[in-house]
Amino acid sequence: MKLKRTIYTILLSLSLSGLLQWTDTLGQEVPGRDENITFLVTFGREGETSWGDDDFYQVFFFAIPRDFNQQFYIRIFDPDVGGEHDEIQGDFNTRTLFSVYGGQGVDPDRNEESKGLNNGLNYKGGNLLASRVFGDEPRYDNKYFSFGPFNPTAGDFNTKWNSYIFKIVCEGIKGDDGNLYRYFLSRDPENNVPIEGANAFTYEYTFRMWNDFKSVAHIYPYVDTGVIYIRLRNFDWDSDGNILVVSRYKQGIDAPISGEDDWAESRIAIEPPEVGSSLDFQFHKRQGELVKNNNVVVTLENQRGDALQFFSSPIGGVPVYQASILVRKAKPK
Amino acid sequence: MRQIQDISNPMLRKNLYFIVLTLVMAPFTLRAQQPSVYKVSRMPFNTGVFSEISPVMVQDGIVFCSDRRFSAFRDRKTFEGRRLYNLYITERRDSTRWEKPKEINSERSTLFNSGPLCFFHDGKTVYFTSEVETGKIASKKNFKNHLGIFIGELSGTDILSIRPFPYNSTQYEVGHPSLSDDGKYLFFASDMPGGQGGSDIYYCEWVNDQWSTPENLGPKVNSPDSENYPFMHPSGRLYFSSDRPGGKGKLDVYYTMLTLGSWEIPSIVPEPINSRYDDFAFVADEAMQTGYFSSNRSRSDDIYSFSSTIMRKASCDTLVENNYCYEFLEENAVKWDTLPFRYEWKFGDGTRGTGSIVEHCYPGPGKYLIQLDVVNLVTKEVMYNEKTYSLEITDIEQPYISSPDMGTTGQRIRFSAENTNLPGWNIDSYYWNFDDETIAIGKEVDKTYNRPGTYTIQMIVSTEPDPGGIVSEACVCKNITITSRP
């Protein structure tokens, strides 16, 4: 009996090993600290896709650990469309709707449409917990707006991550300007106080590239079990530099990048030791003439066409390439 | 067959002694470095007064020829009063003692010589030497009889069904038969016309159930002097005896071999098999470890045994050349055709290389620190010492033979064990086996090959006994190819 209990404990520990890595993280900034991305971007639906947003909405998920039982807030930095940060197209005439969802239908593992990958599908699955439309509102320009408080149990429970999942959707419901914003999951409505073990993820990342040559943006997709290769798709990169795919076993695979208003796709093999860890997609700006205000979209799927998640805080930590020298005898010359 | 008869006649052999003593020792002399490789001992069944010659190895003993007195009442001589040779067989009783020889009789035993001889591989069919003419004329005074070869079947101690070899002649001598291991070739000595002088070695081939016309082995093997007592060893070496100049003295044992359709220049068998006396009728076992020969070094013709003292290991590691060349690769980078990185290697000996896979040969053993710098071609960033690797190169632990791989006949070749790498071994002895029945002892030795061929040299090193009396030994072998000097 004692032996059985010991085995059970070991198996449970092993099955939760991935989770343990997650609970080590402290990432509720979106974009995350390690991602080094300035802003998320969503354009008004009257905008041009060539400006860097392919669908004029963006879906993000927050995962609240099951053992966290306090209320929390989802804070949006610079939610308005006007003033600082945002991308004006003529006049600021854009209205953006932020909606927070919880309950059944949110968890993307059980509701494919919730991932928000295909236009027309119901990416608003779940119970609407809060929403607000922002226009050109100086009150929220360069400031935070907080949704909440929310009870963790109002989320959709995901057994794999042992967390309650919440979803926030940003839609450009009117106008053509670009709303540049950030999220923060917080225990406090007025300050950014992280929730230990929480994380945020998305399946389609629309963000603003840096306006300088040196800064390198990163996103960290998680390679789930069963992945043999990944198909990386990127949109409207304007041929602005290089995407290097880095892992502990990849020093930097140079993935093709898209041009203006089009998609580029590449297939990258995954090695077995990479499964269960994060990749590092590095976005290096092109040297020479600086491409400014470049907004881009990235998606990722496995060999079966299932979308892979980008975590704001990389699961298992930021992957660092480990060079490996192999020495073997050669034929004498 | 005067030469053949002369050898079995001590009086006539004296003339040969004189001739041979006046000859100059030359090309077949072995080098001074050459230690003795054979141990010889006189067989206990020799009479000391009579002659015992031409041993043939049979299953449990030897068959030989002797003109010994058969008993106090029986003695055999020719019509002219010369002693007659007959065949005897003796078997080994134990490691040192032999049974009393028994006579092998035939219809010729009473009045004619029998032997030397050889056996077909069935052990029954015997080829032996005897006089050609057995009729009344043979008993006439001053009749010159000639030797020939006769074939019979051995039954117990009797030779039956005797028939003559077709190339016997009443004009010249034919004798000293030796069959090849497969029975397809018969070698013999003869002074038939057309030879090189004296008696020569000839051979016949068994074709269509008969022996082909005799062929002379040619001037490379046969000299103007006499060659006789051929013995075809299973290895393909043909041993024979000759009183040619340049030997150890009088009759000496030589060997040759058919290589690429041509008989090689004969080499002399080393001392103590050869001596300044008559040494002839050499036979040996398949492994050349033991054998017999005849010699008059103790005044009368006697049979001696020999055993090889040459060490040759059945199991000997092939020399592995030390290889200081390495391939370095960035293990993950090589999986991709193109990467925006440049890999710059410092090999730790002052040299560099570039690429995800590089090769480098070091000058020798040592410790080397390999450093890999990586240049990111996108960011132009250089990652110094992205990875390092400590490489320790050591020589293979083995006895080591330093020598050329090729040489020519007559060339002095140096063999050295200087680069032997056996840490912790207190080496006491370096023993070289040159695969031509010569050996040498020493860390650095010289060797001259007389015949072309590929030789597998063995070097055996052994340590001084440790406090427990244990001697460690290691063997390494290496091939060397010797070609004829142009």
Residue B314, domain member (yes or no): no
Rounded CA separation A8/A5 (Å)? 5
The verdict on a CB contact (< 8 Å) between B340 and A327 is no
DSSP string, B255-286: EEEEETTEEPPPEEPPTTTS-SS-EEEEEE-T
- Nearest residue in chain A measured CA to CA from B375: A251
Which residues on B lie below 8 Å from A325 (Cβ)? 328-331, 370, 372, 387-389
Using CB atoms, which residue from B329, B339, B387 is nearest to A254? B339
Instruction: Report, as an integer, the average pLDDT of B206-228.
Output: 96
Give the end of a domain, one of B348, B367, B393: B393
Say what the pLDDT of residue A120 is. 65
Q: How far is A324 from chain B (nearest CA, A)?
A: 5
Residue B475, domain member (yes or no): yes
Which residues on B lie below 8 Å from A216 (Cβ)? 379
Instruction: Report, as an integer, the average pLDDT of B111-131.
Output: 93
Rounded CA separation B265/B255 (Å)? 9
B379 pLDDT band (50/70/90 cuts)? confident
Cα-to-chain-centroid distance, residue B451: 12
Answer with the residue of higher pLDDT: A38 or B78.
Answer: A38
When mean pLDDT is compared across A97-111, A318-332, B134-148, the lowest value belongs to: B134-148
Mean pLDDT of chain B: 89
Say what the pLDDT of residue A27 is. 46
Residue A288 near chain B (CB below 8 Å): no
Q: Are residues B67 and B185 in the same domain?
A: yes
Residue B33 has pLDDT above 70, yes or no: no
Which residues on A lie below 8 Å from B326 (Cβ)? 327-330
Which residues on A lie below 8 Å from B332 (Cβ)? 249-251, 321, 323-324
Residue A133 has pLDDT above 60, yes or no: yes
Q: Are residues B31 and B57 in the same domain?
A: yes
Residue B450, domain member (yes or no): yes
Asked whether the CA dihedral A77, A78, A84, A86 is positive or negative, the reply is positive
Q: Where are the domains of chain A?
A: 23-311
Give the end of a domain, one of B372, B393, B414: B393
Say what the pLDDT of residue B14 is. 39
Using CB atoms, which residue from B326, B339, B386 is nearest to A330? B326
Say what the pLDDT of residue A185 is. 95
Determine what percent of chain B is predicted with pLDDT higher than 70: 90
Instruction: Report, as an integer, the average pLDDT of B424-451.
Output: 92
When mean pLDDT is compared across A272-276, B13-17, B73-77, B460-464, the lowest value belongs to: B13-17
Answer with the residue of higher pLDDT: A63 or B33.
Answer: A63
Residue B317, domain member (yes or no): no
Residue B391 near chain A (CB below 8 Å): yes
Q: Are residues B328 and B416 in the same domain?
A: no
Q: Are residues B32 and B50 in the same domain?
A: yes
A contact residues 134-173, partner B, Cβ 8 Å cutoff? none
Structural contact between residues A321 and A250, judged by C-beta atoms closer than 8 angstroms: yes
Residue A8 has pLDDT above 90, yes or no: no
**pLDDT single digits (tens) A268-293:** 999 999 999 999 999 998 888 888 88
Which residues on B lie below 8 Å from A253 (Cβ)? 336, 339
Instruction: Report, as an integer, the average pLDDT of B339-343.
Output: 93
Full domain range(s) for residue B410: 396-483
B60 pLDDT band (50/70/90 cuts)? confident
Residue B35 has pLDDT above 90, yes or no: no
Rounded CA separation B24/A293 (Å)? 105
Residue B277 has pLDDT above 70, yes or no: yes
- Closest by CA position to B113, among listed B140, B137, B147: B147
Strand blocks (E) in A29-143? 29-30, 40-43, 57-65, 72-77, 95-102, 127-134
Strand blocks (E) in B105-247? 117-119, 125-131, 147-155, 158-164, 174-179, 185-190, 200-207, 210-211, 215-216, 227-232, 237-242
Residue B18, domain member (yes or no): yes
- Nearest residue in chain A measured CA to CA from B330: A325
The verdict on a CB contact (< 8 Å) between B329 and A250 is no
When mean pLDDT is compared across A1-5, B46-50, B70-74, B126-130, the lowest value belongs to: A1-5
Q: Are residues B266 and B207 in the same domain?
A: yes
Rounded CA separation B380/B340 (Å)? 10
Q: How far is B341 from chain A (nearest CA, A)?
A: 8
Residue B3 has pLDDT above 60, yes or no: no
Q: Are residues B7 and B148 in the same domain?
A: yes
- Please tell me the total count of domains within chain B: 3
Using CB atoms, which residue from A216, A242, A327 is nearest to B340? A242
Task: Write the CATH number for B147.
Answer: 2.120.10.30
Mean pLDDT of chain A: 89
Say what the pLDDT of residue B191 is. 96
Rounded CA separation B198/B3 (Å)? 7
Rounded CA separation B211/B180 (Å)? 13
Q: Is B391 exposed, middle or buried (0-12, 13-18, 19+ CB in 10 A)?
A: middle
> Other CB atoms closer than 10 Å to residue B309's CB: what's the count?
12
Structural contact between residues B3 and B189, judged by C-beta atoms closer than 8 angstroms: yes
Which residues on B lie below 8 Å from A324 (Cβ)? 330-332, 387
Q: How far is A320 from chain B (nearest CA, A)?
A: 12
Specify the DSSP class assigned to residue B95: S
The verdict on a CB contact (< 8 Å) between B376 and A252 is yes
Q: Are residues B441 and B376 in the same domain?
A: no
Q: Are residues B290 and B229 in the same domain?
A: yes
Interface test with B, best of A212, A249, A251 (most B CBs within 10 A): A251
The verdict on a CB contact (< 8 Å) between A323 and B330 is yes
Rounded CA separation B298/A147 (Å)? 124
Answer with the residue of higher pLDDT: B288 or B245.
Answer: B245
The token duo for A70 is 């306090």
Which residues on A lie below 8 Å from B336 (Cβ)? 253
The verdict on a CB contact (< 8 Å) between B361 and A333 is yes
Residue B21, domain member (yes or no): yes
B2 pLDDT band (50/70/90 cuts)? very low
- Cβ-based contacts under 8 A for chains A and B: 80
**pLDDT single digits (tens) A86-126:** 999 999 999 999 999 999 999 999 999 999 987 667 899 99
Residue A131 near chain B (CB below 8 Å): no
Evaluate if pTM is beyond 0.80: no
Cα B359 to Cα A285, B77, B341, B362, B364, distances in angstroms: 35, 84, 18, 10, 15
**Partners of B283 in the β-ladder:** B292
Q: Is B136 exposed, middle or buried (0-12, 13-18, 19+ CB in 10 A)?
A: exposed
Residue B478 has pLDDT above 90, yes or no: yes
Residue A324 has pLDDT above 90, yes or no: yes
Cα-to-chain-centroid distance, residue B464: 31
Q: Are residues B130 and B224 in the same domain?
A: yes
Residue B28, domain member (yes or no): yes
Say what the pLDDT of residue B110 is. 82
Provide ipTM, 2 decimals: 0.79
Residue B13, domain member (yes or no): yes
The verdict on a CB contact (< 8 Å) between A251 and B328 is no
Structural contact between residues A112 and A122, judged by C-beta atoms closer than 8 angstroms: no
B12 pLDDT band (50/70/90 cuts)? very low
Give the end of a domain, one of B377, B393, B409: B393
Say what the pLDDT of residue A25 is. 41
B contact residues 354-383, partner A, Cβ 8 Å cutoff? 359, 361, 370, 372, 374, 376, 378-379
Q: Are residues B53 and B77 in the same domain?
A: yes
Task: Write the CATH number for B354.
Answer: 2.60.40.10
Angle at A320 between CA A284 and CA A312, to 5 degrees: 70
Which positions ≥6 away from B301 have C-beta within 8 Å?
Answer: B8, B10, B51, B52, B53, B278, B294, B295
